[in-house]
Amino acid sequence: MSDDPTLLPPPSYTRERADAVLGEAFRRFAEYVKGARIPGHFVEFGTFRGYTARWMATLMAELGLAGELWLYDSFEGLPEHASDVDRTSYEIAQHKVWRPGSMKLESGIETRIEASLSSVLGGGRVRVVKGFFDRTLPERSPPGPIALAHVDCDLYASARCVLDHLFSRGLLQDGGVLVCDDWNCNRANPRLGERRALAEALEAHPRWEAEPWFSYGWHGQAFFLHDREAHR
């Protein structure tokens, strides 16, 4: 087995299936960013071992996309459940799979991820930010503009924290791509998880709208972001 953690597929995927499903999805994201001439960074919230981050680094290099790759994760597993929305969700209350500390990784993995992806993208363009989102984002926010935001936060509270930060800090742009990896978790219930987080974030920031683009696998959904104040 390779010592490179970014080559390992996400849980529930084989490498072959992950390459087919996630590889194709991220290629579509990156080719759109290039074709539509969307400037900016690729940013991921919930990196785990770095498999999807590797796809982003590879495609940014292959397609000659400028910008940096920013990766956020605690690497300590999921945080304590701070919201009743999460505590009563299917994944926690019934299936008991998103427990605090779930998906905790070995010490120092963030350094290995950064080294691996830097060898792919080069130029000092990979930034790995370790810590829980509510603590790291105020201190080390990704610079704008963002071309692609990949939200793989699992929890409602984490996703809402990330989305509110992105919308309120002016980091997003008209035509940018927002990807919600856990969109169909919690039985795709709109009152739970990332579905509720995005709906509430858009309501709180009415300047923005999210147009569904395409779904991938059983779980993910991509959106085009539109700025209502652009081209009025």
Average pLDDT estimate for 145-169:
97
Between CA 50 and CA 42 the distance in angstroms is 13
Asked if residues 52 and 10 have their Cβ atoms less than 8 Å apart, the reply is yes
Does residue 5 have a pLDDT over 80?
yes
Residue-wise DSSP of 139-159 = HSPPPSPEEEEEE---SHHHH
Q: If we measure between CA atoms, which residue out of 180, 146, 172, 183 comes closest to residue 228?
A: 172
Average pLDDT estimate for 54-82:
97
pTM for the complete prediction? 0.96
DSSP-based three-state secondary structure for 47:
coil
Strands 220-227 and 177-180: antiparallel
In this predicted structure, what is the pLDDT of residue 123? 82
Between CA 95 and CA 60 the distance in angstroms is 37
Per-residue pLDDT reduced to its tens digit, 121-132: 988 999 999 999
Question: Which amino acid type is present at position 171?
Answer: L
Between CA 77 and CA 103 the distance in angstroms is 5
Average pLDDT estimate for 61-83:
96
Does residue 144 have a pLDDT over 90?
no
Average pLDDT estimate for 28-54:
98
- The two structure tokens encoding residue 165: 């930060």
In which band, very low, low, confident or very high, does the pLDDT at 1 lie, cut at 50, 70 and 90?
A: very low
Question: Which amino acid type is present at position 177?
Answer: V
- Rounded mean pLDDT of the chain? 96
In which band, very low, low, confident or very high, does the pLDDT at 231 lie, cut at 50, 70 and 90?
A: confident
Does residue 68 have a pLDDT over 50?
yes
User: Phi and psi dihedrals of 14, rounded to 5?
Assistant: -80, 165
In this predicted structure, what is the pLDDT of residue 2? 63
* DSSP conformation class of 91: I
In this predicted structure, what is the pLDDT of residue 180? 98
Burial class (CB in 10 A: 0-12, 13-18, 19+), 66: exposed
In which band, very low, low, confident or very high, does the pLDDT at 232 lie, cut at 50, 70 and 90?
A: confident
Asked if residues 164 and 208 have their Cβ atoms less than 8 Å apart, the reply is no
Question: Which amino acid type is present at position 73?
Answer: D
Per-residue pLDDT reduced to its tens digit, 179-203: 999 999 999 999 999 999 999 999 9
Burial class (CB in 10 A: 0-12, 13-18, 19+), 10: middle
Instruction: Report the percentage of the chain scoring pLDDT > 90.
Output: 93
Average pLDDT estimate for 3-14:
94
